[in-house]
């Protein structure tokens, strides 16, 4: 339970704010996707861009999963009495992964 001290009345006001489960899941999925994206960057640098087709499939699936992560985080903004820490962090992380994969996908199409 989170408390807030009111200076004027000298009392504490307690609230039942909680962390929404879909946003927490989205946040930790975003962390996992960031590490996976970093691993794909290292693998691509090690092989000098001559990777197998499965690395592209992993990148496209990460783009799809990050879109779902952004959806789950944004769904939590309509809830009441929640902490907004995980929904905001989930949208930012999944949005970064989505934009990175989207840009890399179109760079790969042009080459």
**CA-to-CA distance for 22 and 1, rounded, in angstroms?**
20
* Residue 4 within any structural domain of the chain: no
Closest CA to 91 of 73, 68, 67: 73
Q: Tell me the pLDDT band of 105, cut-offs 50, 70 and 90.
A: confident
User: 57-88 pLDDT, tens per residue?
Assistant: 998 999 999 999 999 999 998 888 888 899 99
Cβ neighbourhood burial of 90 (10 Å; 0-12, 13-18, 19+): buried
* Residue 45 within any structural domain of the chain: yes
* Residue 76 within any structural domain of the chain: yes
- The DSSP element (H or E) to which 15 belongs, if any, is strand 11-15
* Residue 44 within any structural domain of the chain: yes
Domain of 99?
Answer: 19-110
* Residue 6 within any structural domain of the chain: no
Res 14 pLDDT > 70: no
What's the predicted TM-score (pTM) here? 0.79
* Residue 7 within any structural domain of the chain: no
* Residue 95 within any structural domain of the chain: yes
């Amino acid at each position: 339970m989170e408390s807030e001290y009111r200076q004027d009345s000298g009392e504490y006001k307690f609230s039942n704010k909680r962390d929404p489960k879909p946003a927490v899941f989205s946040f930790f999925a975003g962390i996992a996707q960031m590490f996976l994206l970093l691993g794909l960057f290292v693998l691509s640098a090690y092989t000098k861009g001559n990777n197998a087709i499965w690395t592209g499939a992993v990148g496209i699936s990460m783009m799809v999963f990050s879109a779902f992560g952004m959806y789950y985080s944004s769904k939590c903004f309509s809830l009441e009495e929640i902490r907004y820490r995980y929904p905001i962090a989930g949208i930012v992380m999944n949005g970064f992964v989505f934009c990175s994969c989207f840009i890399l996908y179109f760079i790969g199409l042009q080459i």
